[in-house]
Amino acid sequence: MTYPDREIRLPAPPRGPSIALRAVIIAVALLLVFAPAVASRLADWLWYRDIGYERVFLTQIIAQWSLAFAAGVGGFIILYVNARIALRGAPRRNLHIRDATTWAAQGPAILMERLASWFVVPVCLLVAFVLAVSAGANWRELAMFIFRTPFGVADPIFARDVGYYVFTLPMVETLLTFLNAIAWASLVVVTLPAYVARSDIGAVVDTSQQGGGLRFFVTPRAQTHIAILAASILVLRAVRVVLVDVPSLLLSQKPVLFGAAYTDLTVRLPLMRVLAVVLILAAAALVWQARKGQLVRGAVIVLVAVIASAVLLGGLIPSAFQRLVVQPNELERETAQIQHHITATRAAWAIDSIDRRELTTERPLTMREIQSNQATISNVRLWDREPLLQTYGQIQSIRTYYDFVSVDDDRYIINGELRQVLLAPRELNTNALPTRTFVNEHLTYTHGMGVTLGPSNQVTPEGLPVLWVKDLPPASSVPEVKVTRPQIYFGEQSNEFVLAPTRQREFDYPSGEGDAAVYSSYDGGAGVSVGSFWRRLLFAFRFGSMNIILSDYLTPDTRILYHRDVLDRARLALPFVMFDADPYMVITDDGRLEWILDAYTVSDRYPYAQPLGGGTNYMRNSVKVLVDAYTGALRSYVADASDPMIQTLEKLYPGLLHPLSDMPADVRAHVRYPTTIFSAQSALYATFHMTNPETFYHREDQWQVPTSRGSGAESFLRHIVMRLPGESAPEFILMRPFTPRQKDNLSAWMVVRNDGEHYGKLRVYQFPRQSLVFGPAQIVNRINQDTEVARQIALWDQGGSEVIRGELLVIPIEESLIYVMPLYLRAQGGRIPELKRVIVAHESQVAMHETLEQGLAVLFGGAQPPPPDAAVPTTAATVAAPRPATPPIAGETVSATNARLIREAGAAYDRARAAQRAEDWATYGTEMRRLGEILGRLRGTP
């Protein structure tokens, strides 16, 4: 029964979520996935803007995205065009086939054709995206190429400026790598879709064979297309050989040199050019064979020919020539190349202008020379870093959450004299907090506090270091050094973010008895404001802490301080230079704490220059960076304006780097030449001081850096305040000695000057070859063989104590040397090393006494030391000739003089005992030292 006038309505299917709800769900999902990454980039942008280095961030972002976009679009166009050409011949089959037999035969092919067509765009987009990301990572090579600066030095083979290898060659290599990747990707994209669509490439059943079989086919059009792409790969390889591989011969390691050797220039270079021609001919042959419909046969022939040519031209012939022609006459053949190697290495590492001076050892060292070099003696560093760190950690940490990370050498003018000091910042270690909560870690315990500073050579009567700046709050006993802003918000281990100021008081330092403390509120102005809800939300995502949103302690004035590790902070601000791993702190004239960081421009592409670890064969200490420990303010200065790499970076970031003359004078006075580059220069100079190719080849006069007890290659690398031979005033220098290769005697020592107009000047003092100057290893052997030293060490080791030998110090005095080794004593299980003895050695003489002055007096003054228990180590800062006997008073006999000295000794002893009972150790040490001096004068009387 029908009802024509009645509309029949079927029930509606259940409705799913509304479009709006689905949009919200998708938006939330995307937010959860991408919010952390977006928040991180936004937080980075706000941080760069806060420190005034926004241009660094924006330059990198713009350059990366622009280069990636261009590479991605170009790559996609090339890939898509090739894929569409490959699919152009696909047959148009009818998808609406109703016959089951026909569908069974053609249906899968139809689906594969459609899938190939549908997935062309997504696959091309994916491959182009990968290419874009890879290309964007090379933005720095592009920027350095655009703003490149000539070095003004040409390579000796192709007469190209060194800047070509440093700036242009990396960009050429990057571009060819990108084009090669596109060519290979296009080859794959052309081959696979064409096969899947079964248009140009496929397989059919060969009925001519018994039992049938598959016969693969490739249409002529597809063969030509594939051949062109394969040929482009061969052509790109030929271009790479000419533009990259040939100049890279000057950057290759050889057995006797770094750079192009005789075989490279005579045989390998012409054969490489021949190989490039072979590759181009092979590309043409491949296309020709493809047009004849013989792609597979042509590909096999071309592949065999290319591999054979590469093996023959690039391997067998040069190797045979090297073995049969060069090796039997290597010195004669390689002389010119060795000279290139020496010249380039000395220029690349700035060791070609070292001031070289000869020393004589004809005149023996006397007390007169010791007295005239009082500035050197009074700054001998008797405290090694490791024992001093342990001692500071026990006597100056104050609380468990304070930590001393490092101890650094520096110099200050104290009482009108240049004095070497050891300085250690007292930083906050949040991992050691008794209770680690959000409030404690990020709001209350926000900063370290003050520094510990003392002379490098003085000790208390107990064998502990003398401290000029100590305690909390930092108190100074010398008027020249005062700390007025002791808070350290930015340091070497300040990794956690902090929020300040907030309603929660910030812990400054403990005070008085019990749990009393002094609190403060940050007013340095650093950090990014988190006063609004959206800022809190942003940083909650950035640091994964919802407490930033939920905390009631935050105020509209609260700022978040992050990237507080000074090394991390500097690396982010200046990502185009390599930073030294050892920042050091200085105290300014107005009492602020500033970090100084050294940065280097480096390259591994200086032709013929010898590389060190990591392949670096060019290095300049071109940048100095200051970071305020309280405000985090970061300023960067050009330390070497002649460096072409820093000139290029100044073009890239105009106005970002300031001239060194703009650095505040009180901070500039503490700038020092970094040990990293000096270590590299001295290690290279040990070999490259030989400028004659024949001498260099035979290594006739090669030096080496001496090593000591497990210290490795960095042994005997020391900052010293001393008066250099021929100079009138003491200065702060960095010094390293040399011994002949596989010998122990000393051959030379090298210094770099740090003060004023002499900053960065290298100088080498060389001993005459015909004289024997004992080296560190020989001195250590003599010390070990000294019966008094052996007896004392054995005695201490039996008493439940541990003897720690300090580093052997090499101290130049005039044209001679003295060696100094401190001995520390530490109770077993204890953590406070005490300086108990100082060993002094000169030539074949060894003396061990409580102070450096006593040892020097014995070695050079002929005085007899006081008994070992007659004095406690007090100071090694003041060395003078043995005090002459007190002249007799008029009418007084010699016996009367002796009696008077005995009475003075008795009185000094009584005062020392009284001070000991009162635990007045300073007075005790003074009186015991006075007693030793009186006894010394008493021995000097007839």
Predicted pLDDT at 117: 65
Predicted pLDDT at 632: 94
Range with the lowest mean pLDDT among 133-137, 191-195, 595-599, 780-784? 191-195
Tens of pLDDT, residues 548-567: 999 999 999 999 999 999 99
551 SS3 class: coil
pLDDT band at 609 (very low <50, low <70, confident <90, very high): very high
Range with the lowest mean pLDDT among 601-615, 650-664, 867-881? 867-881
Angle between helices 169-197 and 139-146 in degrees, nearest 10: 140
pLDDT band at 717 (very low <50, low <70, confident <90, very high): confident
Q: Residue type at 36?
A: P
Q: Which residues contact 481 (CB under 8 A, 6 or more apart)?
A: 412, 414, 453, 468, 469, 587
Q: Residue type at 796?
A: W
Angle between helices 894-917 and 921-940 in degrees, nearest 10: 160
Q: Average pLDDT for residues 538-542, to the nearest whole number?
A: 90
Q: Average pLDDT for residues 841-853, to the nearest whole number?
A: 88
The answer to whether residue 864 scores a pLDDT higher than 60 is: no
The answer to whether residue 1 scores a pLDDT higher than 50 is: no
758 SS3 class: helix
Predicted pLDDT at 758: 93
Predicted pLDDT at 397: 83
Q: Which of 281-290, 394-403, 643-652 has the highest mean pLDDT?
A: 643-652
Predicted pLDDT at 878: 35
Distance between CA atoms of 919 and 924, rounded to whole angstroms? 8
Tens of pLDDT, residues 756-782: 899 999 999 998 877 788 888 888 888
**pTM, to two decimals:** 0.83
Range with the lowest mean pLDDT among 571-575, 776-780, 891-895? 891-895
**pLDDT > 90: percent of the chain:** 52
SS3 letters across 216-243? EEECHHHHHHHHHHHHHHHHHHHHHHHH
pLDDT band at 816 (very low <50, low <70, confident <90, very high): confident
Asked if 231 and 287 touch (Cβ cutoff 8 Å), the reply is yes
Asked if 123 and 64 touch (Cβ cutoff 8 Å), the reply is no
pLDDT band at 712 (very low <50, low <70, confident <90, very high): very low
Q: What is the dihedral of CA 163, 164, 166, 171, to 10 degrees?
A: 140
pLDDT band at 100 (very low <50, low <70, confident <90, very high): low
Distance between CA atoms of 566 and 629, rounded to whole angstroms? 9
The answer to whether residue 624 scores a pLDDT higher than 60 is: yes
Of 108 and 791, the structure prediction assigns the larger pLDDT to 791
Tens of pLDDT, residues 327-375: 999 999 999 999 999 999 999 999 999 999 988 766 678 888 888 888 8
The answer to whether residue 581 scores a pLDDT higher than 50 is: yes
Q: Average pLDDT for residues 316-332, to the nearest whole number?
A: 93
The answer to whether residue 865 scores a pLDDT higher than 60 is: no
**Please, where are the H alpha helices in 717-821?**
776-785, 787-798
Tens of pLDDT, residues 170-185: 999 999 999 999 999 9
Predicted pLDDT at 297: 83
Predicted pLDDT at 790: 86
The answer to whether residue 919 scores a pLDDT higher than 90 is: no
Predicted pLDDT at 906: 73
Predicted pLDDT at 361: 65
* Residue from 629, 530, 653, 593 nearest 53 by CA: 653
Indicate the average pLDDT of the chain: 84
CA angle 102, 108, 110 (to 5 degrees): 80
Predicted pLDDT at 216: 45
Predicted pLDDT at 101: 53
Of 804 and 198, the structure prediction assigns the larger pLDDT to 804
Q: Which of 33-37, 91-95, 294-298, 634-638 has the highest mean pLDDT?
A: 634-638
Tokens at residue 904, please? 């003075």
* Residue from 729, 730, 594, 618 nearest 668 by CA: 594
Q: Helix %, strand %, coil % for the chain, to 5?
A: 45, 20, 35
